[in-house]
Structure 1
Amino acid sequence: MSSFVAHNVSIRLYCSETASFNQNYDVEDNRVESDVEKLYSTIMGRPIGHRGMEKALDQLGIPLSTPLVTGVLHSLRFEEKIAFRFFTWAGRQENYSHEPCAYNDMIDILSSTRYKVKQFRIVCDVLDYMKRHNRNTVPVEVLSTILRKYTEKYLTHVQKFAKKKRIRVKTQPEINALNLLLDALCKCSLVEDAEALFQKVKSKIKPNADTYNILFFGWCRVRNPTRGMKVLEEMIELGHAPDNFTYNTAIDTFCKEGMITEALELFEFMRTQGSTISSPTAKTYSIIIVALVQNDRMEECFKLVEHMMSSGCLPDVSTYKDIIEGMCLYGKVDEAYKFLEEMGKKGYPPDIVTYNCFLKVLCDNKKSDEALRLYRKMIELGCMPSVQTYNMLALMFFQMDDPDGAFETWHEMGKWGCAADTDSYCVMIDGLFRCNKVEDACILLEEVVNKGIKLPYRNFDSFLMQLSTLGNLQAIHRLSEHMRKFYNPAMARRYALSQKRKSMSLRGK
């Protein structure tokens, strides 16, 4: 009897100890999950490229562990650049060092990215070295060896091309790989790490103009133009001449940071001391003009337009688009009209391409009143709208759930003798189906068949799905027979497979 009681007591004690162990295990598990959520929300709550992410993580004060770090990496597995930033930050924290499983997770994330061929193989090599040798930092000599091996392994096609064309390559083979590594770090917004690495190795590996450009663009990416200008000054001192693309990037960054004075000073330097490859372009002017518009400095804006014309810098379509888009986005529609008038007075009257650029901005922002005003003004000035003009208007009305406006546009197109093209029919039919105007959509599909128009396969497939949902077998048969002239079953299968692969890639598989 006593032995039975003792046995029973021991069972109860064992069960209580096991329950206690399980409870502690569950509590620890829940704590890790909670900390993963806190870290993840802090990381994703910052704008991409914002340099304050690391400071925000520091302020949380959460002690790191391997399960916690791997949990966050798993949550960030589809955001490889942000994951790499978190991994780098975690590796610097006191009382924590990455274990092999954390390295492996990071390498898996970087290896599965779409950038793996271009940027991240070298990063994987460095991480793998750190994992195998249990180091927190990589010596410069070892890094140079890794860079050389990477160049020999992955950049052989460059060397073969140079040998075939008898091009003498003057740069060290390591510099190409180093530039890829710096570029990868900068694109992850780890510009301070990139510059620290550059300072360590520049005595061993001679940098070229691309190296400085990468660092300069990196500082511009994280909105720190002051540091970027220091890199630019060092670049010029060493005899590397920046081109106008580099200067345009700096000016654009200054303008986005609200540093208009600095942007104008750099522009003046380009204008007075710039070489042939670094003098202001139409893009330079458009960046500053839009910045002046944003800051409501319209008088200076139009003076700059005059200066652009007098200096012989001819505007192109992209110039018109950038300036007009900037003016419209900041509510300066009347000023946009004035800009077109000024250009006309200077001997550059807007054509249909220019007007369509203007119209696209208005349509994309669903400013229907302004879009129709511009359409009427085009006709008044004798610039007849093109089929693209009507397509943009019709699409805008459908996006605004206004099929009547789209129909008016369709009839207006016929009134002015502008023949509808394939895109016109696709916009109208798709919009009518979405607005539940099924009968009208079927009438236009009948026109497509009667006129022998070849629909793009994507639209054909979409229209068949719509008709299938409606159960309109007669229309399905008629449209399928018509499209059989243009497409065969093999092509249909290839299209279906490509769509399947695309959908799987979006799911991260």
Structure 2
Amino acid sequence: MVRSHLSKRANKYLRKFRKWPHSPYKTSWHHNFAQDQAMQILKTATFQLGSVNNNNKGSLLSTLIDSFKSYSCDPTPKAYFFLIKALTQHSHFHDIPPVLDHIENMESFETPELMLMHVIRFYCYAGMVQDAVVLFYRIPRFRCTPTVRSLNLLISLLCRRPEWIGMVPSVLLKSQHMRIRFEESTFRVLIKALCGMKMVGYAVKMMKLMIEDGFSLDGEICSLIISSLCEQSDLTGKDALVVWGDMRKLGFSPGVMDYTNLMRFLVKEGKAMDAFQILNQMKEYGIKPDSVCYTIVMNGTVKEGDFVKLDELFEEMLNNLDEALKMVASMEDLGCKPNVVTYNTLLSALSMAGDLSKVRGLAKEMRLKGIEMNLHTYRIILDGFVGKAEIQEACVLLEEMLEKCFYPRSSTFDDIIVQMCQKGLIAEAFELMKKVAAKKIVPGARAWEALLLNSTSEFSYSQASFSELLRTE
């Protein structure tokens, strides 16, 4: 019994006087809860930011401080970032400096670089470029280690406008004192910005500095510089070829688009022969030119009047008829309209290949574009029809030729008569012979032979027809 009495007294003493340690989990939970409640007060205040009057705008910083103070906890970087985002969203320019000053002088946490980058971006978009540069220089004072991310951001923003780009050298110099190490990404940002501003000459110089600093050649950057050539005016065709050669020596492996862009620039500069050489270089390195490549170079040779090179290019294109057809389709877009000679060359190749569907399509395209077919055009198409024994289409086309006083080759006409006779079209063959004879065209021996051999069953008609033919002659 005594032991029990003493135990009760001891427990009562412990409950009254002993201080048990708080649970760490409970403490963390209370702390997080307090921060959440404080953030809720701040969010409620910022949601009303668009409607409050000017006298109340400045109270948001006080709201942040007081809300966290009322819950016995310190303001977090997240809370300040939320406040800054709200102020920038509503363009409250004058309320941002007090917040930044308070973070710099009154807080002790390490300020996230992302928060400061957000303000830098906002300042530049608002045209407050000097404020953006000053804030970049202040980054270490916020207990934040500046990195190449903030440097790249500021440079890319400064390069957006020609009047700001003059500040870039001083920023780059200052960044070295801030111990920000240049990376390949920094050069990439600069080169892209310069190309975007059509200052390709400076972009090339920056690329050379990049190589001198020990960085490897970036194929994407090389392609960007080449693609920007046609939109700038500070490089000549000769300069472009030097840059191209330097890139190749450094290991740049251009693709079809790179070759295309360079040839387009050279033609624009009136250097069609150099573009022709680049085309040959392309083939030497095992890269197959497409229709666009050929069209660009052909456009240049037309402008310079080098029709020998033009024929050479076109004949080469005929090895791939599909690409040749694409080339003709794109010539007009490049300001080099295909003419009847261009179409005749294609029609000849298609006819020899026996692709009559494409022959028909190309002939229709000529008519739609108002390109008049000449004697050579008709003969090419007619030979194609005869070669495939499409005798009905051949006869229709021949009728059209005769109306325009265009005459087929004697051998082609003989083939038509022979095929008509083979198909039993004897009467039609005689009618055609009459029309041809009326035009003072003398059929060949094969045509007469075919008619004689196939006219025995219709002797009376044939005899009369021969008499008419003889009188016509």
Q: TM-score range by the shorter chain?
A: 0.3 to 0.5
- Per the normalisation by structure 1, the TM-score is 0.40
